[in-house]
Amino acid sequence: MKQFSKIFRILLCLMLSVVLVLSMSSIAMADEAKNEEVVLEGTNTIVNGDEVVTFEPVAQNQGMALYADMSNGYFYLENLVSGKKWYSVPIDSDIDPYTAGKNYTNLRSQVVIEYISASEVAWSSPQFANSYSDASFEVKKVSNGICVTYVFSALGISFDVEYTLQNGYLDAKLRLDSIKEDEFKVISVNVLPSFGAGNWEAEGYLFVPDGSGALVTFNNKIITTTNYKAMVYGTEATTVEETKKTNTESIRLPVFGTVTENNALMGVITQGDAVSYITAVNGHDRCGYNAVSSIFQYRFVQSQLNMFNKKNVNMLASPAVGLDAYTVRYYVLDGDKANYTGMASAYRDYLIKEKGFTKKTITPKFHVRTLGFYEEKASFLGVIPYTKKVALTTYSEAMEIAKDLTESGIDALSLQYFGWSNSGITNKKIPNAATPVGTLGGKKAFASLVDYCKQQQCVLVPEVDLLTFQKNGNGVRANKDAARTVFGKVVRRSEYILSNYVYKLQSDVTALVSPTKMDKVFTTYLESLKKQGITHVNLGNFGDYCYANYYLKDEQNRSLFPQKAEEILKKYNDAGIAVSVSGGNAYTLPYVSRVTDVPVCSSGYDMFDIDVPFYQILLHGYVSYTTKPIVQTADPKVTYLAAVENGSELLYNGMHEEASELFDTDYTRFYGSTWRLWKDTAAEQHKAYYPLQAKVADQEIIAHTEVAEKVYLTKYANGVCVAVNYNKTDVVLENGKTVGALNFIEWRENA
Amino acid sequence: MAAIALLAMPLTVGATPLSAVPYTTYDYNLYDESVVAPVGYVPSERITSSSLGLETPMSTPSDIYYDNKESIYLLDSGNSRILVLSTDLKLKEIIANLPDENGEPAQFPAAEGLTIGNDGRLYIADTGNERVLVYNADRTWAYTLTRPETSRLEEDLLFDVSKVSVDNRNNLYVIAKSGNKGAFVFDGEGNYLRLFGGNTVVQTAEVIMKYLLRPFLTQSQLEAMASSVPITISNFDVNEEGFMYTSTIITGKTTVPAGVIRKLNYLGRNILDEEIIFGDREWTRNVAGDRSLTTFADLDVDEDGFMNLLDQGRGKVFQYAESGELIAVFGSYGDQFGQFGNNPPALETIGKSVCVVDKEKACIIRFEPTAYAESYREALLKLEKNDFTGSLEIWQQILEDNSNNTNAYYGIGSVYDMQGDYKQAMKYFKIAGDHVAYSESFQEYRNIAIKKAFIPVVSVVVVLLIAWFLVKKFRKKKAKAVSTSAYSKLESKYTFPLYTLFHPMDGFSQLKPRKIASWRVSVLLLLLLFVVFTLQYFLTGYIFNLNRLVDYSLPIMLIKTMGIGFLFVIANWAVCTLFNGNGNLKEITSVTAYSLLPLEFAMVINVVLSNFLAMTEGAIMNIILVVAIAWTVLLLVCGLSCIHEYNMTQTVISVIATVFGMAVIVFLLIMFFSLLQQTGSFVYSIILEAIQR
């Protein structure tokens, strides 16, 4: 035992000295870097326990350099401006006093795979293997980088990952055609799980794009049963679970990052984003490292209850066909840019440069999600069944609401008219026509509503759901054109019982339009919009749902959904129709003028320390966005304040009918929606907030920070500053200004 | 400016105010179904070892106690110490190294309960060591309680103490985990006094039933019945007035029975409404890994008398008013802020906020009421005190926040009722689904209406009476000409049922000789039964109509009326063929259908009456119905004996046999269909298999 500690001590000394030398040399280099191209230094060797890593220069480009070990593929990415080195696996893991077990081997691996035996899929669950303990490596040089072949010989699995230095970023690319497998099938690959990991002493934070965005402070000591892991663009909509126990927010952006000491490493999943997860580990008593990374889901495993033995049986879906590689880009940021605001702006630059994201003209609005009508089964004396259409807001009542709100001082009004056509709020058949319905007053009444809106500069946006349906018809067949599971079963979604989270058996079940049929549905609707002369539409959950069709005869992998969606949105744009969506997955952003229902918080996982408005920082000044319907959020006042903090537009659910009429229906979720109930509060909020909105509408958010406990400061490019106080007491800021309790103030600084 | 001091950002865990919560929030509607409700309580703070700045992190914290002054005591049992926190949950003091009776540091790693007396004494229920440690206010050892050595206690009663509580007379109450006789009570000196508040055996009728069944049951069935032993108190709380609130461990039930939370007075009698059902009411399908059984592990009554119940089974906190109104449900199992790790052991209220101790995550989660919950609490307090000033405004505010809140409608209705606006009151009571309150308002409303309409109504009645006499006189003259024989032409097959109504023996015995039995009339009369039942379902006045209109099911109603009618006919036909009855199918149908006429008349009368009567006058309708049923049975028995040519005994036996026959037919039908269904699903899975292979 004593001998051991002696060796350990020697190694520690050795290591520390190496680190010292390295850091000194990097400081020296940073000084040089300012003016001229640096000549790459020679190899440097690091001893990490039993591993001796020899880094040699591989490529250099735009202030970044890549060094790699040609025997095991370990590399580091150096920011030549700041001198920060981002290691693909931590080089001090051997002296880590905390990490043990699975965390330890994963930490020292460049890839961690999940696999399953092809012949035993049905009854077994996936296993994990990592490159540190289970794989051998073949490393070869390619232009601007290296290509590492990971060979898991015991499993018969091997694949290549290329790490190359491109124009301003490092690319990690897993080519799908390089995946070789035999009996054991790859399910997922966690690429670079500990790239840029901060150790047990480091200061900094991880950024995860959960909901609006959240930060995990390094070593926050919070122990959770599972590490954070969530799917990009939300959970697969075709997975119907027996129980749904929690409310969570989805990931909308395929971005993650690590920030430490004025340096940041930002990962952007550029290929295969729809089949990826983002995962994070935080430092605590059993884990010395803080890291965020992405997982590529090569195959999906689905399970179904076996009727005979009441056990779940698994089946593998086809691999991600149609996708040629899984690619993650890593950008390095430093100085002013090394924070989440900087990352948001760097990601925005990426979207602008590569995805055609543009600045839209923005006129801030106050939104009312006006509820049209719903259909329910009814019967005359219980004998003659018929479909009852219950109007919540007719066209003329919508006009009445608009007039009344305008009179109350809400002038910049926008009506998101939901359930105004077809079968109302809940689709029966898939909607195929954007035409007014008699239940709400017919064509004439609708025309006068349109006229009124035109005169009053009130924007009327019909909202429609073109993804879910319950009945055969309008060119979409209930069975054949619906998304199915691997087992060939049509995916039927239903509501959950609120008290015990169990899937409701009796209620109407909803199917999803198969992605292969989507194009037809949206084109049909587009034609109708054009005919009706409607120029603005809210496609609702089209910005929220992302899913696959696993049915072998009509299969489409989830990775192809974004591409399909983009094609459709492009058609709408080409036809001159402005599109809004709710949720707003990253791929929709270049095509939409507004995103509705953007959360102002994250899912609040235990591991997270603080929520940040990353999503809002990304969009502000480019595309406008609204909150979720305010009255129905946990704390309406807080949501309003968060909207001010994040520069969101306000959204209220509104209807003309008395809310008590929904008392014994399936629509109790619209409690408090009658416009009279919230009119006064909303008018006050609009009056206080709108002048600020008008001032900063087209401005980027350049800084966002907590200036005092529960007081947040947002600064816009034109120098307008907003401080929002969530405390129940007034707070005096450092600049002497006082922010009232549960209120905000604004002022202008030099930009 | 851009040098954002992010790294200097304070590590305030969960500091961002929430606009969303990870758990569902709901209320129960009139049909015990959960409906969406606004969030009542939001998690506001998570107090962890690092936020308290503890060197040794907390380890299995298991109880919390607030002295209602300035200190909160947290039992950090894994470290055998007690943390004292201020009301804003900052660390004030660590009480470690408490001595035991030998002066050694006491170890209580498996302690589960903690309380502080009015005199500052500290009591620790050391579950693992089966003792209660008692310390003086100056933290010196006072005494240790072990199992009382008294013959008054049953031999097998263990002293695995889990919870302790002190009342305002300094009596100490101790709950043992395995005890089912109630709490041990000790006086201030540690002398054993008695057992207190043992829960009585549930539902006497059920127990008697089981006792009677006992000789007929197998061993395993007997074991399954073990739940009829007295049930155990799981936790308690003593409020400032000295009332003790207890929660009961619920065993062997998938739904929560009524009355599991009790408020006991000094005599140990429950003064809460025994009918209140606490906790979740919806039954859970058995889903793998679901911990759905409700277990109230802790309860605490806050300063305003609201009860907070910690349901360990479902990982939720329920807040109730004393009258049983559900104010809020919050928390769930999971790894998000506002969710708990496995089996949270304790909760405590500090002012209005609720602190839940999370053993697994080693933290305290504090929940604060939202504006909605605050106004709801205020309104209910006013309602309980019958204080109606300004309550219209409050209830209206609550409706703004939650239009699904039945109590708000009830509250507004009460205000209108007080003001004498009975019509408005009725409207709101109807939305609230309160038939009793509605009935009371209706009665007032009707009285006023009668007073107003007295003279016109009386004059109309007088006129009608005169008209009736005249018509009767006129008709008598006309009818006289034809009523020369007993069976006049007026009595065709359509009017025959009216004749049998008053002359059953005579009438039914004419069925055979006169061949007057008619399929058409019989089926029409059975159909009438269906129509009358349907009318009753929909048109019964609100006060008496407890049906949910959307639940109406045509097939079920058909089966309930015509189905049972035909089933009776067929069974009777089959049975009487065996018993040498002479009636044929047509005659049996006729007798059955004609006999139903009194019932049908009575139901129509009741439907009409129900729209004019108040709840207290409902007995009239019951009398009418009972008379009608008796009449119907009489007709049926007479009719059957006539057509089968039975004597009374034979008829009664045949009716009993018919009922048995009906059961056999139903059984065969069910068996047939379930067989059909199983074959169907078997064929379906074979087809599925064939397609997928």
DSSP-based three-state secondary structure for B673? helix
- Tell how strand B81-85 and strand A204-208 pair up: unpaired
Q: How many other CB atoms are there within 10 angstroms of residue A16's CB atom? A: 12
CATH of the domain at B328: 2.120.10.30
**Range of weakest confidence among A41-50, A147-156, A506-515, B596-605:** A41-50
Q: Is A354 on the interface with B (CB under 8 A)?
A: no
**Residue A273 is encoded by which pair of tokens?**
């984003």
Do the domain assignments include residue B480?
no
Judge contact between A223 and A272, C-beta under 8 A.
Answer: no
Which residue of A606, A680, A711, A735 to mutate against B (max B Cβ within 10 Å)? A606
Query: How many Å lie between the alpha carbon of A711 and the closest alpha carbon of chain B?
Result: 9
CATH number of the domain within which A322 lies: 2.70.98.10
Q: Look at residue B347 and tell me if it is in a domain.
A: yes
Q: How many residues does chain A have?
A: 751
* Residues A285, A291, A294, A295, CA torsion sign: negative
Flag whether A278 is in a domain. yes
Q: What is the pLDDT of residues A92-137, one digit of tens each?
A: 877 788 887 777 888 889 999 999 998 888 888 899 999 988 999 9
Q: What is the pLDDT of residues A232-281, one digit of tens each?
A: 999 888 877 777 778 899 999 999 999 998 999 999 999 999 999 999 99
Contacts of B352 in chain A (CB under 8 A): none
More confident residue, A594 or B486: A594
Helix residue ranges, H only, B481-580? 496-502, 504-509, 511-514, 519-539, 554-558, 564-578
Domain that holds residue B393: 371-474
Single residue among B443, B474, B505 that ends a domain in this structure? B474
Residues B456-486 pLDDT 10s: 888 899 999 999 988 888 776 554 544 444 5
* CB within 8 Å: B17 and A502: no
Kindly report, residue by residue over B310-335, the tens digit of the pLDDT: 998 889 999 999 888 999 999 999 99
Residue A730 · residue A745 · CB < 8 Å = no
Q: Is A501 within 8 Å of B24 when comparing Cβ atoms?
A: yes
Sign of the torsion formed by the C-alpha atoms of A660, A666, A668 and A673? negative
CB pairs under 8 A between A and B: 227
Asked if B431 and B364 sit in the same domain, the reply is no
Same domain, B645 and B670: yes
How many domains does chain A contain in total? 2
* Strands (DSSP E) found in B152-191: 161-166, 172-176, 182-186
| Chain A residues touching residue B376 (CB < 8 angstroms) | none
Q: What is the DSSP letter of A93?
A: G
* Yes or no, beta carbons of B553 and A599 under 8 Å apart: no
Both B397 and B348 in one domain: the answer is no
In the predicted structure, residue A54 carries a pLDDT above the cut 60:
yes
- Decide if B439 is inside a domain: yes
B379 and B357 belong to one structural domain: no
Residues of the domain holding A706: 699-751
Residue with tokens 């927010």: A249
Which contiguous run of DSSP H or E holds residue B590?
helix B585-595
**Predicted ipTM?**
0.88
Write the residue in B5, B34, B38 that is nearest to A705 by C-beta: B5
Q: Of B19, B26, B554, which is closest to A638 when you measure between CB atoms? A: B19
| CA atoms of A693 and A644, how far apart (whole Å) | 8
B178, B60: one domain: yes
Residues of chain A contacting B27 with CB distance shorter than 8 Å: none
- The pLDDT tens digits for B190-218 are 888 887 766 554 445 555 555 666 666 55
Q: For residues B303 and B184, state if they share a domain.
A: yes
Report yes or no on B5 lying in a domain: no
* Torsional sign, CA A724, A730, A733, A736: positive
A307: confidence class by pLDDT, cuts 50, 70, 90: low
Q: For residue A289, give the 3-state DSSP assignment.
A: coil
Same domain assignment for residues B269 and B384 = no
Choose, out of A671, A720, A750, the residue to mutate when testing the contact with B (most B CBs < 10 Å).
A671
Residues of A in contact with B57 (CB under 8 A): 221, 285
Q: Model confidence over B551-580: pLDDT tens digits?
A: 778 888 888 899 999 999 999 999 888 888
pLDDT on residue B207: 54
The residue among A632, A652, A667, A654 whose CA lies nearest residue A375 is A667
* B466 shares a domain with B524: no
Q: Is A245 on the interface with B (CB under 8 A)?
A: yes
Domain count, chain B: 3
CA distance A362 to A592: 12
- Please report which residue ranges of B611-647 form alpha helices under DSSP H: 619-644
Residue B491 in any domain: the answer is no
Nearest chain A residue to B550 by CA: give it.
A378
**Interface residue A224 vs chain B (CB under 8 A):** yes
Could you say which of B36, B361, B553 has the minimum Cβ distance to residue A668? Answer: B36
- C-alpha to C-alpha distance for B336 and B365, rounded to whole angstroms: 11
B250 and B198 in a common domain: yes
Set of chain B residues whose Cβ sits within 8 Å of the Cβ of A611: 16
Q: Which chain B positions have a beta carbon within 8 Å of A674's beta carbon?
A: 403
Give residue B128's pLDDT. 87
> Within this chain, do residues B360 and B385 fall inside the same structural domain, yes or no?
no
Same-domain pairing of B364 and B375: no
The pLDDT assigned to B358 comes to 93
Q: How does pLDDT run across B523-539, given as a tens digit for each residue? A: 999 999 999 998 898 88
- Residues 6 or more apart whose Cβ sits within 8 Å of residue B682: none
Q: What are the tens digits of pLDDT across the range A14-52?
A: 555 555 444 444 444 444 333 334 445 667 888 777 778
In angstroms, the CA B673 to CA A51 distance is 71
CB B658 within 8 A of CB B575: yes
Report the distance separating Cα B77 and Cα B424, nearest Å: 58
Residues of chain B contacting A505 with CB distance shorter than 8 Å: 285
Q: Which residues of A touch B1 (CB under 8 A)?
A: 703, 715, 749
B272 in the same domain as B398: no
Please tell me if residue A487 touches chain B, with a CB cutoff of 8 Å.
Answer: yes
Q: Which residue has the higher pLDDT, B291 or A514?
A: A514
Q: What is the pLDDT of residue A10?
A: 59
Domain boundary among B369, B385, B401: B369
Q: Name the residue among B2, B29, B332 with its Cβ closest to that of A702.
A: B2
Residues of A in contact with B334 (CB under 8 A): 245-246
Cβ separation B280–A632 shorter than 8 A: no
Interface check for A484 against chain B (CB to CB < 8 A): the answer is: no
Q: Is residue B425 part of a domain?
A: yes
Instruction: From A316, A333, A355, give the residue that closes a domain.
Output: A355
Indicate whether A661 pLDDT > 80.
Answer: yes
Residue B15 has pLDDT above 70, yes or no: no
In a domain, B482, yes or no: no
* pLDDT band, very low/low/confident/very high, at B386 (cuts 50, 70, 90): confident
> Per-residue pLDDT for B662 more than 80?
yes
Nearest chain B alpha carbon to A499: B34
Minimum Cα–Cα distance from B397: chain A residue: A677
Which of A301, A322, A355 is the endpoint of a domain?
A: A355
Residue B687 covered by a domain: no
Lowest mean pLDDT among A209-218, A298-307, B60-69: A298-307
Beta bridge partners of A247: none
Stretch A717-743: mean pLDDT: 93
Question: What's the average model confidence in pLDDT over A450-464?
Answer: 93
Q: Is the pLDDT of residue B172 over 60?
A: yes
Burial class (CB in 10 A: 0-12, 13-18, 19+), B472: exposed
Question: CA A332, CA A351: separation in Å to the nearest integer?
Answer: 16
Domain stops at, among A355, A388, A410: A355
Tell whether A204 lies on the interface with B, counting CB pairs under 8 A.
Answer: yes
Residues in chain B within 8 Å Cβ distance of A671: 36-38, 402-404
